[in-house]
Structure 1
Amino acid sequence: MSTPKPFRGVVSPRTKRFPLEAALLTSGLKDLMGLPGLLCVGAVLQASLLLVLPTRWAVLPAYGFALYGILSTAIQVFFPSTSQFDKDVIRGRVAGALPNKSYDPSRPDEKPLFGPTPAAEQIVCFHLGLRYSHPLGMFAPGAAEMHRHIATMYASLRQESEKYGCLGSTFWRTGGRESKNAGMAVFYFRSVEGLHAFAHDEAHRAGWDWFNGWLKKTGHTHLGIFHETFAAPAGQWETIYGDMPPTLLGAANNVKVLNEQTGEEEYVVPLVDYKHSQLRSKYGRMGWTDGKYHLDGDRGVKA
């Protein structure tokens, strides 16, 4: 019986953490007001220029921005290599997988970076979000203090990621309203116990105590918060990404392994090549079938 082939990673490990881009300030400002508000701001600015400058000079900024938008779009369309929207895209299909604790690049068959078993470990997905039910949005009373506590919590979790088993996080914003939508961070943990330990972290407790005290003191109800926890045991989760940059679990940037050849810890993008036979189907990516099994009911059984 042949030994199953290990999965092949699509991004080489590195000693520095992979950057996580999150334009939170820009995103928050754009979400602060709807299209009518943005048009109104633009109209006021243009009218102000017309009051202080000759018309031919006052319209130059508007024409300049329009020309820049048209030219930059045209350049990126006709010269795709210059496109900012193509940045970090991994061509083809890839699947999420957690690496082994250690590997040896000089012995890839004996000590590979990834194993041959999909969904081999439990994963806990944790959603944590905030919504402003206030016309001032991110400038509402209490919002600045809330942001400071959130930043402190996130910094603590990032610094102690191994202690709590946090694999990484990404930020998302809903689109249910014209403006002032809820923002949400999606975290991935190795266990519910690790998540629970973080919930009792000093930084998290300080933020939670402040929030409860603020509610009691002010009586305000415009800062809405929520969280959801989903624990997926081994063999109960799967992912696939096609022509995407590292996203969600694939963007978890706290995943570390030991390079036995150098003795250094390295960061790994938890994505593997889809071309492995085990990863061609949803059930295969969950480890329910590998070509030698058929599905009977909910689980794979031997043929």
Structure 2
Amino acid sequence: MAPSFELLFKPFKERPEWHFTKAIRTRSLHFVAAKDYFQLSTWLCIGGLLQTAAVAYFGFRATIPVIVLLVLRTIDHLSMALGITHNRYMDGAIRKKWGVQLPHADGTLSSKPADESVVVFFVGQQVNHPLGFMAPGLTENRYYQNQIAKALDDYYDKKGLLGWSQWQGTTEHANNMIMFIMYWKNIESLHNYAHGPEHMAGLRWWSQGAGKKYPHLSVFHETYIAPKGHFENIYLNCKPLGFGATTVPISKPSEDGKENKLEWLMPIVDSKRGPLRTFARRMLRDDLTAHEKEDNDIWDNTV
């Protein structure tokens, strides 16, 4: 029997901090959304107006903090770019070619790519209003969304949620389109979450008139079920993101054998060689290997 894939990280005894918890702790969830409510020129005008008011009140001494901050940041980033100081933007990046393979229920990994199924769920919103964060109905909408998002913590690990990542739209200069990509063990888990009290409360608010009253608020979702052998992924020098930001709980018997204890696996494996080396191999598609054989030097020299 062929050996199974090897995890790059040992199992965690405590559940790693996942993206939602980190986003709340660092407030990035709100900052990322807020900066896209208005165009860049609008934010520059607001900053210029505030600086003008500060100069009018405090004199030109008010420009000192701005100049000092700009100089410090310039020195900081130049020193990182020149290799003088540590490049903190690389913190957390996995410096190799890696991918994600979900383990079986007992925590073991197969030697066959994509040997477990997964559900991918896209959900998001847009705010199409000139007043941005002051748009009518947005405060109520955000309340329900926060309740729905916080409820995810109870589904992470315990009830089928593997993890999720937050993304920002770029098709408009300022539309505040936010999307979340979630990964679930199965469709039943996602369906149970959708019919939980938090999501149903938001759905009732929307269906009982909010959708018509606030047409500038939009929501959307897409759901895809990827069965065994029908998905693949690859990451080069990336920080954990997307499918790579998932965590799988594994029940292990304790040393005394009296109870089971949970361990958490980051299902990240080395993808440079073997059955994960190329797209055709990861998708179990022998009919696609002809092109890849012509470019062996690419796969051999990739990270």
TM range (shorter): 0.7 to 0.9
Shift in Å, 1:53: 2.1
Looking at structure 1, the residues matched to 84 and 252 of structure 2 have their Cα atoms a distance apart, in angstroms, of 36
Whether the 8 Å CA contact 1:80–1:86 is kept in 2: the answer is no
1:18 aligns with 2:16: yes
Looking at structure 2, the residues matched to 125 and 195 of structure 1 have their Cα atoms a distance apart, in angstroms, of 10
Counterpart in the other structure of 2:264:
267
Looking at structure 1, the residues matched to 85 and 103 of structure 2 have their Cα atoms a distance apart, in angstroms, of 31
Partner of 2:123: helix, strand, or coil?
A: strand
Counterpart in the other structure of 1:282:
279
Shift in Å, 1:231: 1.2
Looking at structure 2, the residues matched to 64 and 266 of structure 1 have their Cα atoms a distance apart, in angstroms, of 47
Whether the 8 Å CA contact 1:28–1:138 is kept in 2: the answer is no
Q: For structure 1, list consecutive stretches of 5 or more residues without a partner in the other structure.
A: 104-112, 298-303
1:192 aligns with 2:187: yes
Superposition pairs of residues 130-145 of structure 1, within 5 angstroms: 130-145=125-140
Superposition pairs of residues 215-294 of structure 1, within 5 angstroms: 215=210, 219-253=213-247, 255-260=248-253, 262=255, 263-286=260-283, 288=284, 294=286
Instruction: Please give the per-residue CA displacement for 1:134-161, whole angstroms capped at 9, x wherever unaligned.
Output: 1222332221222221222222232133
Report sequence identity in percent.
Answer: 27
Counterpart in the other structure of 2:42:
37
Looking at structure 1, the residues matched to 138 and 93 of structure 2 have their Cα atoms a distance apart, in angstroms, of 35
Looking at structure 2, the residues matched to 54 and 139 of structure 1 have their Cα atoms a distance apart, in angstroms, of 32
Looking at structure 2, the residues matched to 8 and 225 of structure 1 have their Cα atoms a distance apart, in angstroms, of 40
Instruction: Please give the per-residue CA displacement for 1:51-103, whole angstroms capped at 9, x wherever unaligned.
Output: 12232x12212211211220110222234763231121000110111123234
Shift in Å, 1:163: 5.5
Counterpart in the other structure of 2:287:
295
Instruction: Say which is worse superposed, 89-98 or 188-197, in terms of deviation.
Output: 188-197
- 1:34–1:80 Cα change, 3 Å: farther
Q: For structure 2, list consecutive stretches of 5 or more residues without a partner in the other structure.
A: 290-303
How many equivalent residue pairs?
278
- 1:74–1:81 Cα change, 3 Å: closer
- TM-score if structure 1 supplies the norm length? 0.85
Q: Which amino acid aligns with 2:287?
A: L
Instruction: Name the structure with the higher helix share.
Output: 2
Counterpart in the other structure of 2:206:
211
CA RMSD of the aligned region, Å? 2.1
Instruction: Please give the per-residue CA displacement for 1:16-74, whole angstroms capped at 9, x wherever unaligned.
Output: 2222243111112211221211211121122112212232x122122112112201102
Looking at structure 1, the residues matched to 103 and 187 of structure 2 have their Cα atoms a distance apart, in angstroms, of 20
Whether the 8 Å CA contact 2:117–2:228 is kept in 1: the answer is yes
Partner of 2:96: helix, strand, or coil?
A: strand
Superposition pairs of residues 101-120 of structure 1, within 5 angstroms: 101-103=105-107, 113-120=108-115
Partner of 1:175: helix, strand, or coil?
A: coil
Whether the 8 Å CA contact 2:100–2:243 is kept in 1: the answer is yes
Shift in Å, 1:279: 0.5
Partner of 2:150: helix, strand, or coil?
A: helix
Looking at structure 2, the residues matched to 115 and 64 of structure 1 have their Cα atoms a distance apart, in angstroms, of 55
- TM-score if structure 2 supplies the norm length? 0.85
Q: Which amino acid aligns with 2:57?
A: V
- 1:90–1:296 Cα change, 3 Å: closer
Whether the 8 Å CA contact 2:104–2:116 is kept in 1: the answer is no
Looking at structure 1, the residues matched to 288 and 245 of structure 2 have their Cα atoms a distance apart, in angstroms, of 34
Instruction: Please give the per-residue CA displacement for 1:254-303, whole angstroms capped at 9, x wherever unaligned.
Output: x21123465421122121111340110112212x16xxxx4289xxxxxx
Whether the 8 Å CA contact 1:32–1:180 is kept in 2: the answer is yes
Instruction: Please give the per-residue CA displacement for 1:83-133, whole angstroms capped at 9, x wherever unaligned.
Output: 231121000110111123234xxxxxxxxx422121011111110010001
